Structure 1
Amino acid sequence: MSGFRYKEYKQGRRFILKIIPGESLVECITQFALTENIHYAVILSAVGSVRDVCLRGIKSGAKLPITPARVNTHLLEGPLELLSLTGNIVPDETNTPDCHLHIMAGKSSCDVIGGHLFDARVFATCEIVLTELVVEGVERHHSTSGGIPTIYFNEE
């Protein structure tokens, strides 16, 4: 199979995580993973509200690799309703948890925005349901063809 790669995993521990107002979403998730010795995980759901959101959208017509010139970075003061947070935690080359997250958030006008999340501050609350994945041989590395960090599977 040349079009895709995969690894089977088992479900590990399951957590409900509450992040308090003012905290960095990405820093808290990363610190939680370090504290609980979580190497791999998936975000199942997240609700709450956020402010000071920094996210990225790929420009229309962009080609690979993704470079800073081919993306728009947006800074949104908020507050915004956190409608969805999806993503995963996979260790990077230094075995540090790396969060790859995408966000959907609602403005007071009910317009919805979304993209790759760099970070955000929790406004009133953030409630996350997270599942640990039990798997080996997966790491996140920078992809020269894609231009961004992506998961790689160690061949056995």
Structure 2
Amino acid sequence: MRWKQVEQKPKVFALIFETGDEIAAELKQFAKEQGLGGSSFKAIGALSHAKLGWFNWEAKKYEPASVLNEQIELLSLIGDIALKDGEPQVHAHLVVGRKDGTAHGGHLLEAHVRPTCELILTESPAHLEKKIDPESGLALIQI
């Protein structure tokens, strides 16, 4: 992954992922290295693999919904980064398009880039922290 800071206030970064990069892991590492807490991002590109999830309310956890091991278009990736127990956590949803024109969407569990993913990340003015919500069991942003 290559990156460049394109604005100072608020901080805005352009991140360019390359073939083989796994988006969620590299984005989390980038946020940690840059000291980013509350941030939002959007991206487009293409992937060779995506694992999409959905939130199982009864089990209170994300479960795999579909796994796509083929060349797919990353039509939309949006999400946020917030601190949970002092560590940045990536929460994102994506929609991908298959060769036949069908779309699949869900919670980002894993996505491998091929050949590129162009992501714009904007830091929020105030850091956001996630805390466990007792009803859902999820780490949710607290304002």
Interval of TM-score (by shorter of Structure 1 and Structure 2): 0.7 to 0.9
- CA-based RMSD of the aligned residues comes to 2.0
For 2:138 and 2:66, locate their aligned partners in 1 and report how far apart those are by CA, in whole Å.
Answer: 18
Cα distance, 1:54 vs. partner? 1.1
Tell me, yes or no, if structure 1 residue 48 matches structure 2 residue 45: yes
Tell me, yes or no, if structure 1 residue 82 matches structure 2 residue 80: no
Q: Give 1 or 2 for the bigger CA radius of gyration.
A: 1
State the AA in 2 paired with 1:67. K
Q: Per the alignment, in what secondary structure is the counterpart of residue 31 of structure 1?
A: helix
Q: Is the 8 A contact 1:22 1:122 kept in 2?
A: yes
Match of 1:112 in 2: 103
Match of 1:7 in 2: none
For 2:65 and 2:139, locate their aligned partners in 1 and report how far apart those are by CA, in whole Å.
Answer: 17
Shifted more, 111-120 versus 141-150: the winner is 141-150
Match of 2:119 in 1: 128
For 1:58 and 1:40, locate their aligned partners in 2 and report how far apart those are by CA, in whole Å.
Answer: 22
* Number of equivalences: 135
Match of 2:54 in 1: 57
Match of 1:147 in 2: 137
Q: Deviations over 1:7-62 (max 9, x none)?
A: xxxx621111101110110011111112222111101x311111221111357xxx
TM-score by length of 2: 0.84
Q: Provide runs of 4+ in structure 1 moved above 6 Å.
A: none
Pick closer, same or farther for the CA change 1:58–1:99 going to 2, 3 Å.
closer
Q: Deviations over 1:98-138 (max 9, x none)?
A: 000000110011111101111111111010011011214x3
% identity of equivalent residues:
27
2:60 counterpart (42, 61, 67): 67
Q: Deviations over 1:126-151 (max 9, x none)?
A: 10011011214x31123221232211
Unaligned runs of 5+ in 1: 1-10
TM-score by length of 1: 0.78
Tell me, yes or no, if structure 1 residue 14 matches structure 2 residue 24: no
Q: Is the 8 A contact 1:80 1:106 kept in 2?
A: yes
Q: Per the alignment, in what secondary structure is the counterpart of residue 34 of structure 1?
A: helix
